[in-house]
């Protein structure tokens, strides 16, 4: 491990806004395999991690935390939590939030598979999935699969929104198919976000104009990377408050076709900063 990463990991331990639980704090090894154990912060985020209670917005797979931080600065009436497993990435967002004394930002370092251990029913107002790995070969690993949507439903408020912003047409179309087979409302969707006028994307009742503007104006490191490679940015917004088990789309989603549309990815990176 490089000296730079070690320095970041050490500094991460000093950030009040960053929670880094050990795996054994939330995972029990029982006779039937591993089972989740509730973390003490579950149901207490507003009182333990923020300066005052506000509706909480969760970003899953937040990477360096740019989206979490930018949304928090634009919307001081919400508290924001970015979740990722990579400590070296989270360092950048946590460092910024600490340096700029942002009181409505927190970060959680954990696997998203453990997410139910950290949030109580109704504790989360919205979820953002920003440039998630499309998991072309593993449906259950996709963050919009029925397995994950059922997890989110356990802590998302009734009527709460789930936003998917991605460069992956495969993941976008898969998510649309999941919504269709489960009768989940698609409140907004486009396969080319920046070619879609803001006023056409949402009704004012579904999303205030200033928050729609943020969708267009906030761009992560990976979003800039994918746009530089020529990929169009897609967006979808849904609600997941239907009861009962969620179904996989099965033959309603032509995975082979959309996998071929996805094509190979280039592997260059933008400069740091």
Output the pLDDT for position 272.
45
Residue 253 class from Cβ within 10 Å (0-12 exposed, 13-18 middle, 19+ buried)? buried
- Residue pLDDT, tens place only, 234-263: 999 999 988 889 999 999 999 999 999 987
User: What six digits make up the tokens of 129?
Assistant: 């999935």
Output the pLDDT for position 2.
66
pLDDT value at 271 more than 50: no
The residue annotated as part of the active site, out of 51, 133, 192, 241, is: 133
Output the pLDDT for position 262.
86
pTM: 0.93
Show the CA angle centred on residue 249, arms to residues 244 and 250, nearest 5°. Answer: 120
Give the length of the chain. Answer: 273
All residues at 6 or more sequence positions from 179 whose CB lies less than 8 Å from its CB, including other chains: 185, 186, 236, 238
Kindly state the helix (H) or strand (E) to which residue 107 belongs, with its residue range.
strand 105-109
Domains and CATH numbers, the chain: 3-262 (3.40.50.150)
Output the pLDDT for position 243.
85
pLDDT value at 41 more than 80: yes
Active site residue 192: no
Q: Which of 71, 118, 96, 119 is nearest to 15 (CA)?
A: 96
- Residue pLDDT, tens place only, 92-111: 999 999 999 999 999 999 99
């Amino acid at each position: 491990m490089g000296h730079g990463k070690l320095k970041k990991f050490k500094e991460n331990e000093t950030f009040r806004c960053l929670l880094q639980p050990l795996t054994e704090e939330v995972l029990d090894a029982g006779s039937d395999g591993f089972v989740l154990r509730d973390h003490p912060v579950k149901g207490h985020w507003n009182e333990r991690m923020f300066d005052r209670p506000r509706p909480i917005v969760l970003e899953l797979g937040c990477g360096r935390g740019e989206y979490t931080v930018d949304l928090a600065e634009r919307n001081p009436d919400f508290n924001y939590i970015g979740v990722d497993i990579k400590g070296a990435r989270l360092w950048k967002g946590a460092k910024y939030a600490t340096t700029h004394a942002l009181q409505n930002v927190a970060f959680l370092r954990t696997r998203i598979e453990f997410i139910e251990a950290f949030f109580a029913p109704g504790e989360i107002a919205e979820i953002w999935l920003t440039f998630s790995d499309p998991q072309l070969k593993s449906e259950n690993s996709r963050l919009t699969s029925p397995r994950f949507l059922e997890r989110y439903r356990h802590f998302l408020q009734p009527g709460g929104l789930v936003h998917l912003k991605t460069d992956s047409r495969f993941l976008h179309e898969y998510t649309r198919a999941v919504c269709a087979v489960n009768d989940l409302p698609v409140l907004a969707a486009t396969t080319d976000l920046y070619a879609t006028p803001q006023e056409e994307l949402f009704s004012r009742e579904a999303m205030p104009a200033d928050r729609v503007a943020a969708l267009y104006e906030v761009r992560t490191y990976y979003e800039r990377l994918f746009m530089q490679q020529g990929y169009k940015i897609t967006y979808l917004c849904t609600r997941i408050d239907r009861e009962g088990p969620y179904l996989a789309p099965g033959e309603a989603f032509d995975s082979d076709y959309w996998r071929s549309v996805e094509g190979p990815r280039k592997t260059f990176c933008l400069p740091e900063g």
